[in-house]
Structure 1
Amino acid sequence: MSTQSPLKTILLAGFTAGTLDILAAISLLGKMKPIPVLNYIASGVFGKEAFAGGIEMAWLGLLFHYLIAFSFAIAYFLIFPYVPLLRKHKLLSGLLYGAVVWVVMNLVVVPMTNVSRGPIQLQSALLNMAILMICVGLPISFLVHRYYALKH
């Protein structure tokens, strides 16, 4: 029987995915400059003003980033019992979920925000999708799978 609660599992999965993702974004995409990366995230709500907002906007960007990561962890946790693929293939389902996260973020969420961006570029899209597959999809899949495996 699992001693870990659903809430702890979701928090751990969201925090792990959010942390790995933001570290990858800062190191691979942000040239080791965290403030512009976090301000970019904040620009989803505040538009171009976020880039002039300094550290305050960066903190808001980090908050938004983790809220998104927790949202994806909650979604995976809730659908897990109902989708046999997720239970049978944690590696494959984690990678696929990371790709789904990329699609949802880039084709649904970001277009509804104030983020200024051009057309999707293939090389950039593939790198971003790979980051989400490895840093978001896999940890969420493995941690949620562990919870349900210990529960039974």
Structure 2
Amino acid sequence: MQSTVEKPTSLLIRATLIAGTLDILSALTYAVMAGKNPLAVPVGIASAIWPGAVKAGAPALLVGVLLHFAIMLVMVAVFVAAARKMPWLTTRPVTSGLIYGLVLWAVMNLIVLPLRWPALFPHFTAISLAEQVFSHTVLVGLPLAWMTSRSMQHR
């Protein structure tokens, strides 16, 4: 008889792919809604580690997407590690997902981005704040907490 227990690496990969895809799709959508080129999103991500990304074309797109998913993997791994130490994170996935999404938003927008681009961040409008909080809580935090909860319930 086969076990239905999910391996930790499987959860990390699956949660990273799902939350990462939802997150980048939201960023692309918001760019289109703002009348901007959506391809600028992954290029902007790549520029965090590659100052010449704006002029690099397709390689910058690839680097940006890979970097986005690498960052998401770290976000997922931190939540999964925390859930192993604090079981309430998996027994209350809606609450923990929303809280973790807010924490992710705060870390990215109040620490990481201002450290990399101090002249640009923090900068908020009511719309950008709503979009960012929605994306981090509903599209990243909730799915991540739900998948982690389901995975750990099977153990």
TM-score normalised by the chain length of structure 2: 0.87
Give every structure 1 segment of 4 or more consecutive aligned residues whose post-TM-superposition deviation is greater than 6 Å. Answer: none
- Corresponding residue to 1:16 among 12, 15, 18: 18
Deviation track 1:8-44 (CA, whole Å, cap 9, x = no partner) reads 0011001110000001110123448432111111111
- How many residues end up aligned between the 2 structures? 150
Q: Answer yes or no: is 1:78 the counterpart of 2:84.
A: no
Partner Cα distance (1:90, 1:17) in 2: 15
Deviation track 1:110-145 (CA, whole Å, cap 9, x = no partner) reads 223258624421411232111111111011101111
Structure 1 gap segments, 5+ residues each: none
Structure 2 gap segments, 5+ residues each: none
Whether the aligned pair in 2 keeps the contact of 1:45 and 1:114 (CA below 8 Å) is no
AA partner of residue 97 (structure 1): Y
Distance 1:3 1:88, change over 3 A: closer
AA partner of residue 35 (structure 1): L
Partner Cα distance (1:23, 1:137) in 2: 15
Q: Answer yes or no: is 1:103 the counterpart of 2:103.
A: no
- The 3-state SS of whatever aligns with 1:46 is coil
* Larger RCO (alpha carbons 8 Å, 6+ apart): 1
Partner Cα distance (2:73, 2:16) in 1: 4
Partner Cα distance (1:118, 1:111) in 2: 5
C-alpha root-mean-square deviation of aligned residues, in Å?
A: 1.9
Higher helix share: 1
Structure 1 stretch displaced more, 38-47 or 105-114:
105-114
